[in-house]
């Protein structure tokens, strides 16, 4: 399941990039896709864990990305 999420995420990301969206729009779209994938999980604890890992704001993401660029 994890590999299919990564592949699906990469596909979704590629589609968003091809559409010429801003990074914030791309982030929101990817998060919405991830939440949708989390909702498909039948095990409640796994679903909750998945949703919890998808709570970063765009601002948090941007700070983290900017930190990686500086390294």
Mean pLDDT across 24-53: 94
Taking the CA atoms of 23, 28, 33 and 35 in sequence, report the sign of the dihedral they define.
positive
Q: How confident is residue 37, by pLDDT bands cut at 50, 70 and 90?
A: very high
Q: How confident is residue 19, by pLDDT bands cut at 50, 70 and 90?
A: low
Mean pLDDT of the chain: 81
Mean pLDDT across 32-44: 96
Question: For residues 54 and 38, is the Cβ–Cβ distance under 8 A?
Answer: yes
Distances (CA, A) of 20 to 11, 36, 46, 62, 68: 15, 22, 33, 18, 23
Q: Which residue pairs from 62-66 have beta carbons closer than 8 angstroms and sit at least 24 positions apart in sequence?
A: 62/23
* pTM, 2 dp: 0.60
């Amino acid at each position: 399941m994890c590999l299919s999420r990564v592949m699906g995420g990469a596909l979704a990301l590629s589609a968003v990039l091809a559409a010429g969206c801003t990074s914030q729009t791309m982030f929101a779209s990817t998060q919405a896709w991830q939440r949708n994938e989390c909702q498909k999980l039948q095990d409640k604890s796994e679903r909750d864990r998945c949703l919890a890992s998808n709570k970063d704001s765009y601002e948090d993401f941007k700070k983290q990305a900017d930190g990686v660029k500086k390294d």
